[in-house]
Amino acid sequence: MSKIGKVLGEVPVGLIGAVDNDQPAFMGPSYKDNEILLLPEGVRAATLPALIERLTLHEHRDAMFIDTFMLTFKSFATPDEVLDLLIQRFFIQPPDGLSDAQFNLWAEKKQKVVQLRVINILTIMLKDGVLEKEDMHVLARFKEFAKIAHEELGAAAQPLVNIVERARSGSDAKTPFNYSSPDLPPPPQVPKNLKKFKLLDLDPIELARQLTIIEGRLFFRLRLMDCLQRAKEQSSTQNIKEVITTQNGISDWVVESILHPEDPKRRAIVLRHFIQIAEQCRSLQNFSSMTAIVAGINSPAIRRLKRTWDLLTVRFTTLFDSLEKSLEEAKNFNTYKAFMSKITPPAVPFLGVYLTALTFNQDGAKDNIPGKDPNGPMLINFQKRHKAAEVLREIKRYQQMPYNLTPVPQVIALIEDSIKLLQFDRDKAWALSMEREPREREEEKVQRLLQDSGFV
């Protein structure tokens, strides 16, 4: 059995395809004209074999195309299918009828370059975390192929051999959220007695830091395929569920904490405290917690508490207005998006913006489209994947730079326990809000304002 047969089980037939008029036919692509749709900016759609060929073109290397493919291929193929086709591509066969000179040109300028491209792509798949835990069954095949490639190419295949061994040993595991930084983290600002403290005992800065640690860990654990899968199937993986549950929990915690005091002055103090926490979250570029806090404060049960809001100074109402404007949900988060495009990580973005964009992209275009030949094969809509990859790259960008903060277990426990122990829903929150500040008749409102002003 041939070397390729050892890996694939059979020898693939060499593909001979469309001719590029600028080069000899035998140096052109193997895919047929009805297997790909090209735009000036790149591939619009193609069959999977044609996409694999574009990944490993001998003429040039398209880094953006490669990155898009790596980020999205699991939405239209399995790692096994991609590996099969890459191995086939490595053992590319020359067209029939070449002269000795033509064969030498083909072998030197096409075959050798294609083989090196295949090695590079397989290395990227392992090095960049493209393969995840459930994909590790293919490592045995990677190892077998790397051995054969090393026999063919010698030292040129050594990087693949090395990274396969590291992947098999688990030494290429993803860096944890708490990484080692050359700089000391800021010292925590906590009460002297950490055995007994309440929400208002904690500095807004430290609460924001601990929220950032909690939400940052969840965000850092997110897999990009989790986001793609949710957009396609409208069902959340465990990682996304944890992010959403935590965000909703923070919002509900804000509502419950503000409604808990019976005295309007105490409610105003708690409300002011959360506005300060949200501002500190914004300073830390933790937009996930900031959004959750703003959502809680903006809930109907809190927004209607006029007596409470009236006790805030202009400074805090203005500050809250600026927090709202930085989100501008009604304008499709345009202000937020523009701001995010300019910041430097670390940051914990608001995941909802990305999930919405991915869902819009998923629903707005078909996964597969017809090619030039209506009777030909359906093509993978790669332009759709390119748009999805733009969103995934932004998520990935923020996952690559963790925060340098010190966890305070007692504060983290307070936050997490407060979220877990919540025992009311929106209806209960509304009922409690009505109890705290019943609707007033106009004459009752005038009487209250006079009393609050000391005139009565």
| Residue type at 64 in one-letter notation | M
Give the closest residue to 36 by CA, choosing from 442, 448, 371.
371
Mark 105-126 as b/e (b = at least 16 C-beta within 10 Å): ebeeebbbbbbbbbbbbbbbbb
**Gap between the Cα atoms of 313 and 259, Å rounded:** 19
- My answer on whether 15 and 119 are in the same domain is yes
Mean per-residue pLDDT pooled into runs of 10, the chain (456 residues): 48 35 85 96 97 96 97 97 98 96 97 98 92 92 97 96 91 51 89 92 98 98 92 86 96 98 98 99 98 98 98 98 86 85 95 95 97 95 98 96 97 96 88 94 58 58
- My answer on whether 239 and 123 are in the same domain is no
**Gap between the Cα atoms of 270 and 280, Å rounded:** 15
In 3-state terms, what secondary structure has residue 44? Answer: strand
Identify the pLDDT of residue 446: 58
**Gap between the Cα atoms of 164 and 125, Å rounded:** 10
Does residue 270 lie in a domain region? yes
**Which two structure tokens, joined as six digits, stand for 125?**
């798949």
- Give residues with Cβ within 8 angstroms of 373, minimum separation 6: 33, 34
Does residue 266 lie in a domain region? yes
User: Can you list the pairs that 327-334 forms with residues at least 24 positions away whose Cβ atoms lie under 8 Å?
Assistant: 327/291, 327/294
Give the H or E element holding residue 368.
Answer: strand 368-370
Number of domains in the chain: 2
- My answer on whether 234 and 107 are in the same domain is no
Does residue 193 lie in a domain region? no
Give the H or E element holding residue 380.
Answer: strand 378-381
Residues 367, 379 contacting (CB under 8 angstroms): no
**Gap between the Cα atoms of 46 and 33, Å rounded:** 10
**Gap between the Cα atoms of 174 and 364, Å rounded:** 33
Identify the pLDDT of residue 18: 38
Residues 383, 45 contacting (CB under 8 angstroms): yes
Place of tokens 């008749």: 441
- My answer on whether 215 and 315 are in the same domain is yes
| Residue type at 360 in one-letter notation | F
**Gap between the Cα atoms of 43 and 172, Å rounded:** 32
pTM of the model: 0.88
CATH value at residue 79: 1.20.870.10
- My answer on whether 316 and 408 are in the same domain is yes
**Gap between the Cα atoms of 349 and 66, Å rounded:** 26
Q: What is the DSSP string of 155-190?
A: GGGHHHHHHHHHHHHTTTPPPPSS---SSPPPPP--
Identify the pLDDT of residue 364: 96
- My answer on whether 276 and 157 are in the same domain is no
**Gap between the Cα atoms of 244 and 99, Å rounded:** 63
Q: Which domain holds residue 86?
A: 3-169
In 3-state terms, what secondary structure has residue 1? Answer: coil
Greatest alpha-carbon pair distance for the chain in Å reads 108
- My answer on whether 239 and 114 are in the same domain is no
- My answer on whether 411 and 318 are in the same domain is yes
Rg of the chain in Å (alpha carbons): 29
Place of tokens 């074999």: 49
CATH value at residue 409: 1.10.840.10
Identify the pLDDT of residue 181: 66
Does residue 312 lie in a domain region? yes
Alpha-carbon distances of 266 from 47, 131, 257, 301, rounded to whole Å = 64, 52, 10, 16
**Gap between the Cα atoms of 444 and 275, Å rounded:** 29
- My answer on whether 78 and 223 are in the same domain is no
Residues 355, 38 contacting (CB under 8 angstroms): no
Give the closest residue to 349 by CA, choosing from 257, 247, 451.
247
- My answer on whether 297 and 422 are in the same domain is yes
In angstroms, how far is the first alpha carbon of the chain from the final one? 101
Does residue 211 lie in a domain region? yes
- Give residues with Cβ within 8 angstroms of 292, minimum separation 6: 246, 247, 248, 250, 251, 254
**Residue 346 preceded by cis peptide, ω within 30:** yes
- My answer on whether 27 and 88 are in the same domain is yes
In 3-state terms, what secondary structure has residue 45? Answer: strand
The count of other CB atoms within 10 Å of the CB of residue 292 is: 25
**Gap between the Cα atoms of 210 and 198, Å rounded:** 15
Of 150, 169, 188, which one is at a domain's C-terminal end?
169
- My answer on whether 402 and 283 are in the same domain is yes
Q: Kindly list the strands in the beta sheet with 36-39, ordered across the sheet, starting from the edge strand earlier in the chain.
A: 36-39, 42-46, 378-381, 368-370
**Gap between the Cα atoms of 54 and 76, Å rounded:** 16
Does residue 96 lie in a domain region? yes
Does residue 377 lie in a domain region? no
Does residue 300 lie in a domain region? yes
